[in-house]
Amino acid sequence: MSRAESGPLTRFGVPLVVTGAAIVVGYLFSVGLDGYFVYLGMSAIVAGIALLGLGVVTGSAGMVSLCQLTFAAVGAWVVSGLNRIGAPGGFLVWLVCGGIAAGLVGVLVGLPALRLRGINLAVVTLGLAAAADLTLVQIQFPGTVDGVSVERPESFSDDRGYFWLGTIVLALCCLLVHFLRRTRWGSGWQAVAFSERGTAAAGASVRTSKLSAFAVSAALGGVAGGLLTGQVGLAFPASFTAMQSLALYVLAIMSGAHLIDMAVFGAVLWVAVPELLKRWGVPQDWGFVVFGLLGTHALTTGGNLGTAVRELWRRRSKEAAGVELTAPPAEVDVPPPGEPVLVVRDLSVNFGEVKALSGVHLAVPSNGVLGVIGPNGAGKSTLVDIISGFLPQATGAVELDGRSLNGLSPTRRARAGLRRTFQQDRVPAGLTVGAYVRFVARRRLSSSEITEALEFFGCPPARTPLRRVDVGARRLVEVVGHLLAKPKVLLLDEPAAGLPHEEHVALGARLRQVPARFGVSVLLIEHDLDLVRSVCDTITVLDFGQVLASGPQAEVLANPEVLKAYMGETELL
């Protein structure tokens, strides 16, 4: 089985071909369909672009946004305002301006949301939607009162032509979202939805990830609003109510709008459900009741249409991918450890009355592996948290290559060349192995470089989706990503947890080669003494938050104090 990702031709060619095909189909629809369906289709296109935006913010980045149509209203406002004053450039330029303006408003609303998550953002956006609702009714859109209707571009001036323009804009927006999701931004959205700490540890800014998701979503909303204004000619507040924003949100959750095809399908539902109800003589308000019921169902069961369909598709072929660490790795020359590259002095932290760590000194040699061991609750993970910057209240000094890291955020420390992995699963399931490794590595990597590193650790191939990778293997993929970032030091927090015991030693043999192969020094926290013995030249033992012993492996492991702390007194008898 090939471990490589698909080539650039497939990665760029296929989406472009699909977009071209969609535009052709749009043209065929625009000339072939009945006039009424062209009108309905246009409404679906507008909803589709708005849903695409919601897919980014709620689906990918995991935030609750309840004001998508408020952003649409900003776009509509800008388009009708520019039309009213006869601004140069024509409709298409105004449409882009509308999108940009909505994106900026998105940034403004998103700024307070940076440190807010989940439900607080929902409160903020609902508040904005409600306020905008009342305000729009009072001040109306420019040109609406005096009846100046928005001029469409000349070549798309009739309804059929405008529908085709709509499909082109929709197709381009889909293409944009598709490629954005494959950039660092897009990986950042997935990562921040899964874990903020994991995102920061990969050297990505949590702030940028959240804000870019919100801005892209708002900009798409703005484009939808501008397009709607061109369709109707005049913008009315009734098109942008808080109610409809809520319904779009529920629809986005229900259909799984983070998947592009599902956003388009959701848009078809948005138009088809009320239309069908109308044909059956049922009041159209039942449409929202249907959405409400389906949305409640989707939220309580935690599933959505898009993933359900995909699960059906995949079920036949594949099962979970794991680690294959059987064969011993090829021998390399292990150079002797050098001068300390990471030095920690007098590190202390208290949680309330509890002294979690006090006065800890340690040094990680360059080209070496330092093992940190100790019984449960000795403060090992706290130590990693402090060194990587997640506990700013800690005192003491952390120096990397002679440079002080004190006061730097986790993101800055990661960028400075100090990386860490987590004991818990912090790997976002929405990405492929390759995309995640590229995201974590933060530098240009060739496919062969990724393949080689994955093979070395026995990880699944780069194109496997992480959701099909078992937890033990995910944590090794995390290790691979951080190693490919070529940091100066990598802190590994129990990398073997989640692997079967017989593979611990095989992993150890590979970790021992890490300094030689990747040029990275390692601080290894581990419970498994066999693993530590096979990897570490020097060992530091923690007990009750203090350094109990430190030095060459044999010396430390023979220390009776260490044996007592580690094995318990009875074992010594």
Give the binding site for other proteins (CB under 8 A).
64, 66, 112, 115-120, 122-124, 126-128, 130-131, 133-135, 138-139, 195-197, 241-243, 246-247, 249-250, 253, 283, 285-289, 291-293, 295-296, 299-302, 381, 385, 390, 392, 424
Cβ of residue 360: shortest distance to other proteins, in angstroms?
A: 18
Residue in this structure with the two tokens 């369906």, named with its chain if needed: 37
Choose between 93 and 497: whose C-beta lies nearer to other proteins: 497
Choose between 191 and 547: whose C-beta lies nearer to other proteins: 191
Cβ of residue 138: shortest distance to other proteins, in angstroms?
A: 7
Residue 452 backbone class (left: φ over 0; alpha: ψ -120 to 50; beta: rest): alpha
Cβ of residue 573: shortest distance to other proteins, in angstroms?
A: 36
- Closest C-alpha among 43, 46, 40 to residue 71: 46
Q: Is 282 helix (H, G, I), strand (E, B) or coil?
A: coil
| Residues 171 and 23: beta-carbon distance below 8 Å | yes
Cβ of residue 534: shortest distance to other proteins, in angstroms?
A: 28
Burial 102-111 (b: 16+ CB within 10 A, else e): bbebbeebbe
The amino acid present at 166, given as its one-letter code, is G
Q: Give the chain's end-to-end CA distance (angstroms, integer).
A: 54
Q: Is 278 helix (H, G, I), strand (E, B) or coil?
A: helix
- Closest C-alpha among 427, 397, 417 to residue 490: 417
Q: What is the dihedral of CA 238, 241, 246, 247, to 10 degrees?
A: 0
Q: Determine which helix (DSSP H) or strand (DSSP E) holds 346, and give its type and residue range.
A: strand 340-351
CA angle in degrees (0–180, nearest 5) for 387-392-396: 60
Choose between 280 and 313: whose C-beta lies nearer to other proteins: 280
Cβ of residue 147: shortest distance to other proteins, in angstroms?
A: 24
Cβ of residue 129: shortest distance to other proteins, in angstroms?
A: 9
Choose between 14 and 123: whose C-beta lies nearer to other proteins: 123
Residue in this structure with the two tokens 């074992």, named with its chain if needed: 571
Q: Is 542 helix (H, G, I), strand (E, B) or coil?
A: strand
Choose between 82 and 109: whose C-beta lies nearer to other proteins: 109
What does DSSP assign to residue 56?
Answer: I
Cβ of residue 114: shortest distance to other proteins, in angstroms?
A: 9
Cβ of residue 569: shortest distance to other proteins, in angstroms?
A: 30
Q: Is 364 helix (H, G, I), strand (E, B) or coil?
A: strand
Cβ of residue 350: shortest distance to other proteins, in angstroms?
A: 15
Choose between 506 and 542: whose C-beta lies nearer to other proteins: 542
CA angle in degrees (0–180, nearest 5) for 122-128-129: 90
Cβ of residue 61: shortest distance to other proteins, in angstroms?
A: 13
Q: Name 192's Cβ contacts closer than 8 Å, sequence gap at least 6.
A: 61, 62, 199, 204, 206, 209, 210, 213
Distance CA 402, CA 485 (A): 20
